[in-house]
């Protein structure tokens, strides 16, 4: 099944987002990744690549990202990864929840999961 | 080739030293409009890159660039990793046959293209692109059109980058953390563009040193006309 990787500048934020998304995720693999590798705020392509690999079971990985360098470093990681991975242009938490639900659909594909994640862009709250 | 590789390692060490010296200044620039991590991130990345470059056994320029780029990507932890480092790995493909004027132009153009693509930034967005674009364009023109010696072309590129950095001050950030500030980003010098200038200044100094030459005193905005004058003379001679 399609896996998910959640990339944030903060490792704790990534873990928290995964915690929220996992409630709806069934057996979906969701890997959190974040931080500069030395306990600080930031993102590192190698670590993102490892998270993509961990989330992949052969059907691909949708990558959710927060801001700026997380997008760029995820972009690098996707380029270097052997797994089929795509970045969803979506808000990281809402997108992760949507994607987690979409991934549990037996007919889910990499594209359908990404599309559902990106549908979170138009989500209204009030 | 070996000599070139050693010169590139020297350049990386010079950049690492310079960025460390400017660390506080870069952080100060970034704290005004960003998240105050640029100086620390770059200093950490370049220190690791210099160490990795030093550890290479008799490398060619391409290997040095790849190693430095990969190390920056792994160590920087911010947008400067993929922008400065990732682009270096990518552009190193132009250095298959070492460094000469032609491959240096191709390298510079590919590097700029990758930075623009990865950062989705164009001139005027108050980013590193504002320093790199005039530098790369000036270098290309100086080499290909004006046929200046490479060192002179590089000196012109550095002058152009300096003007590019100054250009980031009165404009509004459209990319990066500074863009969240909207109009409040106006009046601040972009830290990434500033780092790019420091890097180019060190490349020039090391290149001059390697060639055992003085750094040429040039102005990026001065047109180069001696060739035209020479052509005019020969045209006039033919008319006679």
The enclosing domain of B8 has a CATH number of 1.25.40.340
Sites in chain B below the pLDDT cut of 70: 1-3, 224-240
Intra-chain end-to-end CA distance of chain B, in Å: 48
Q: Is A123 an interface residue toward B (CB < 8 Å)?
A: no
Contact between B78 and A42 using a beta-carbon 8 Å cutoff: yes
Where are the domains positioned within chain A? Answer: 3-122
pLDDT for the residue B230: 52
pLDDT for the residue B78: 87
pLDDT for the residue B1: 42
Q: Residue B98: inside a domain, yes or no?
A: yes
User: Which of A4, A9, A49, A70 is labelled catalytic?
Assistant: A9
Q: How many domains does chain B have?
A: 1
B24-30 contacts, C-beta under 8 A, 24 or more apart = B25/B194, B26/B191, B26/B194, B26/B195, B29/B188, B29/B189, B29/B190, B29/B191, B29/B194, B30/B191
Full strand arrangement of the beta sheet holding A3-8 = A30-34, A3-8, A61-65, A85-87
**B107 neighbors B101 (Cβ within 8 angstroms):** no
Give the DSSP per-residue string, A79-121.
Answer: HH-SS-EEE--S-HHHHHHHHHHHHTSTT--HHHHHHHHHHGG
ipTM of the complex: 0.81
The SS3 call for residue A60 is: coil
CATH H-level superfamily of A3-122? Phosphotransferase system, mannose-type IIA component (3.40.50.510)
Q: Residue B230: inside a domain, yes or no?
A: no
Residue B30 CA to its chain's centroid (Å): 19
Q: Is B128 an interface residue toward A (CB < 8 Å)?
A: no
Q: Residue B142: inside a domain, yes or no?
A: yes
Q: What is the pLDDT along chain A (126 residues), one digit of tens a residue?
A: 999 999 999 999 999 999 999 998 989 999 999 999 888 999 999 999 999 999 999 999 999 999 989 999 999 999 999 999 999 999 999 999 999 999 999 999 999 999 999 999 989 999
Catalytic annotation present for A15 = no
Please write the tens of the pLDDT for every residue from B163-198: 999 999 999 999 999 999 999 999 999 999 999 999
CA distance B73 to chain A (A): 7
pLDDT for the residue B207: 96
For A31, left (φ over 0), alpha (ψ -120 to 50), or beta? beta
Task: Please give the backbone phi and psi of residue A64, each rounded to the nearest 5 degrees, phi first.
Answer: -100, 135
Mean pLDDT over each residue of chain A, to the nearest integer: 96
Q: Residue B237: inside a domain, yes or no?
A: no
Q: Residue B157: inside a domain, yes or no?
A: yes
Cα separation, A12 vs A28, in Å, equals: 20
Partner residue opposite B119 with nearest CB, options A37, A40, A72: A72
Please write the tens of the pLDDT for every residue from A12-23: 999 999 999 999
Contact between B118 and A75 using a beta-carbon 8 Å cutoff: yes
Task: Please give the backbone phi and psi of residue A23, each rounded to the nearest 5 degrees, phi first.
Answer: -55, -30
pLDDT for the residue A61: 98
Q: Are strands A30-34 and A85-87 parallel, antiparallel or unpaired?
A: unpaired
Residues of the domain holding B135: 2-222
Q: Residue B62: inside a domain, yes or no?
A: yes
């Amino acid at each position: 099944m399609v896996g998910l990787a959640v990339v944030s500048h903060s490792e704790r934020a990534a873990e928290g987002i995964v915690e929220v998304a996992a409630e709806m995720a069934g057996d979906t693999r969701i890997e959190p990744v974040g931080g500069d590798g030395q306990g600080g705020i930031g993102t590192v392509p190698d670590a993102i690549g490892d998270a993509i690999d961990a989330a992949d079971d052969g059907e691909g990985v949708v990558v959710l990202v927060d801001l700026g360098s997380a997008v760029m470093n995820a972009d690098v990681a996707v380029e270097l990864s052997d797994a089929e991975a795509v970045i969803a242009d979506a808000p990281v938490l809402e997108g992760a929840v949507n994607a987690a639900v979409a991934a549990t659909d037996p007919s889910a594909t990499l594209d359908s999961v990404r599309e559902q994640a990106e549908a979170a862009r138009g989500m209204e709250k009030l | 080739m070996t000599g070139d590789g050693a010169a590139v390692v020297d350049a990386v060490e010079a950049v690492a030293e310079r960025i460390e010296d400017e660390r506080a200044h870069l952080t100060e620039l970034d704290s005004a409009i960003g998240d105050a991590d640029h100086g620390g991130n770059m200093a950490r990345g370049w220190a690791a890159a210099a160490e990795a470059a030093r550890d290479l056994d008799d490398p060619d320029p391409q290997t040095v660039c790849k190693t430095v780029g990969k190390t920056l990507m792994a160590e920087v932890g911010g947008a400067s990793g993929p922008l400065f480092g990732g682009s270096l790995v990518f552009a190193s493909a132009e250095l298959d046959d070492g460094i000469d004027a032609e491959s240096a132009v191709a390298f510079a153009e590919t590097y700029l293209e990758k930075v623009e693509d990865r950062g989705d930034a164009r001139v005027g967005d108050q980013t590193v692109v504002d320093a790199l674009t005039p530098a790369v364009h000036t270098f290309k023109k100086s080499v290909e059109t004006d046929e200046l010696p490479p060192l002179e072309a590089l000196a012109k590129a550095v002058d152009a980058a300096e003007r590019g950095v100054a250009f980031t001050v009165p404009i509004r950030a459209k990319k990066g953390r500074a863009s969240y500030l909207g109009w409040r980003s106006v009046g601040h010098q972009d830290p990434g563009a500033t780092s790019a200038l420091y890097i180019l200044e060190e490349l020039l100094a090391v290149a001059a040193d390697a060639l055992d030459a003085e750094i040429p005193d040039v102005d990026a905005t001065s047109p180069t006309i001696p060739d035209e004058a020479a052509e005019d003379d020969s045209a006039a001679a033919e008319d006679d």
